[in-house]
Structure 1
Amino acid sequence: MRRVLYDLAGAEEDRRFSPYCWRTKLALVHKGLDFETVPWRFSDKEAIAFSGQGLVPVLVEGDRTVSDSWAIALELEERYPNTPSLFGGPEGRVMAHFVNAWTDRVLNPAVGRMMVLDIYGHLHEKDRAYFRATREARYGAPLEQLVADREARLPELRALFAPVRTALAQGPFLGGASPRYVDYIVFSVFQWARCISPFALLQAEDPVFAWRERMLDAHGGLARKAKGYPVA
């Protein structure tokens, strides 16, 4: 069965930077499922109109279409029960749901504010007006102003990673001895930043830095092989 994932791309077709798409790609690889990606840009709304909405990821499996990274993860877990579990059981799914909400409401906005001008610089020309208008409305300031003091705000951002550090004190991955979907959720934020910006979010002595290195090497180095900037 042909499996197709619509995946956000920048001006360079192979620069794939959406954190939500990264969650889905890692989930598919975790499950051992083959797939191909279709590069998609913000202005390509018609290309995914069949999904009934206008955002990626969109996964098409035969005659089935699923959008939204969390919904896709649930679909994959239910549809492929004989492949490695994304959650490690019902309790793991509940925890992953909490981390998914925390990441989307806390980490993503904080990191996005740091990276917004770098993202703009990597977009296709046809996407730039849309991106600037929507992000300036979201954050309430021009893109240039949003990143002007990002060095000064780094300590505050790094403090947000405290729950991740606490969890990593119990093992090498948030999911335990090996990565699970909870790792993919949080890691997607750091992969988003790595793919789009040279700005260093982490210090080398941070346990989150070491975990990110392990995640970059997971699944044959899938994330590390993606186009991006050297991590520091």
Structure 2
Amino acid sequence: MSSAPLTLYELAGADPELRFSPHCWKTRMALAHKGLESQRIAWRFSDKARIAFSRQGAVPVLVDGDQSISDSWRIALHLEQRYPERPSLFGSRDAIALAGFVNRWADSMLLPAVARIILLDVYEQLADEDREYFRSSREAHFGTSLEQLVAPQAKHLEQLRQVLAPLRQTLKGQPFLAGEAPAYADYSVFGMFMWARCTSGEELLAPNDILHAWRERLLDAFGGLARAATLASPLETGARHVQ
């Protein structure tokens, strides 16, 4: 096993300490689960040349010795194989396929539901040189302006509530999606909530929501790693409430 330090390239806002990518948060929680430290490097959309060595243009990118791994799911699989003596991210080999399903569900269903609520807030946190790319790419994807996308806020919050229904049913009988302890299935979903928490003042979960309690447990996991994350200023996100 290589003794070289791990290096993680993470998406950052205008404030280099504001690390908000949902996929990078999946990886940060996975590293913490494994008890692995990494050098964390702030990366922006305009910095594509800095990760050209990985042969793609998005983060997270993890450098582990002489290997560079992109995509949060591929990074999780790499960590599980590379460090088998450390706590498993999945619990067992049989659970990897189920965690993969949860990860794909989070990416395909939960991410767009959250995006319709917070994308304008995300835009406001970006460095000036990233804003044009972000706006044009996201507006092309959704087929409307960011302002129009987020405008029916109450409608989007209700749609998010419906998307989250299967998670609420699962958590009625156990503290985490993976069971009695958190695992990668939890981190796949939690990354989406950290995306919102770091960039937006919009509270996505009511205090009496069973998912709120689940999120609180993960905010406190690993010595409060996620709870200590840098958040956008409430003044920069319409002075809405951020816990």
Matched to 1:145, the amino acid is: Q
- TM-score, normalization by structure 1: 0.98
Partner of 1:36: 39
Q: Which runs of 5+ in 1 are unaligned?
A: none
Whether the aligned pair in 1 keeps the contact of 2:59 and 2:71 (CA below 8 Å) is yes
Partner of 1:179: 182
Q: Aligned equivalents of 1:152 and 1:76: distance in 2? A: 39
1:203 aligns with 2:193: no
Whether the aligned pair in 1 keeps the contact of 2:200 and 2:242 (CA below 8 Å) is no
Counterpart mapping for 1:32-111 below 5 A: 32-111=35-114
Q: Tell me how far 1:174 sits from its aligned partner.
A: 0.9
Q: Tell me how far 1:155 sits from its aligned partner.
A: 1.5
Partner of 2:216: 213
1:116 to 101, 114, 119: 119
SS of the equivalent of 1:176 reads: coil
Matched to 1:86, the amino acid is: L
**What's the % identity of the aligned pairs?**
54
Aligned structure 1 segments of 4 or more residues deviating by more than 4 angstroms: 229-232
Q: Aligned equivalents of 1:90 and 1:64: distance in 2? A: 23
Whether the aligned pair in 2 keeps the contact of 1:119 and 1:197 (CA below 8 Å) is yes
Partner of 1:144: 147
SS of the equivalent of 2:170 reads: helix
1:192 to 192, 195, 201: 195
Matched to 1:151, the amino acid is: A
Matched to 2:47, the amino acid is: D
Q: Tell me how far 1:151 sits from its aligned partner.
A: 2.2
Partner of 1:23: 26
Q: Aligned equivalents of 1:58 and 1:156: distance in 2? A: 32
Q: Aligned equivalents of 1:172 and 1:139: distance in 2? A: 35
Q: Which runs of 5+ in 2 are unaligned?
A: 233-240
SS of the equivalent of 1:202 reads: coil
Q: Tell me how far 1:167 sits from its aligned partner.
A: 1.3
Partner of 2:236: none
Root mean square deviation, CA, Å:
1.0
Q: Aligned equivalents of 2:231 and 2:111: distance in 1? A: 18
Whether the aligned pair in 2 keeps the contact of 1:57 and 1:69 (CA below 8 Å) is yes
Q: Aligned equivalents of 2:106 and 2:154: distance in 1? A: 22
Partner of 1:131: 134
Whether the aligned pair in 2 keeps the contact of 1:113 and 1:139 (CA below 8 Å) is no
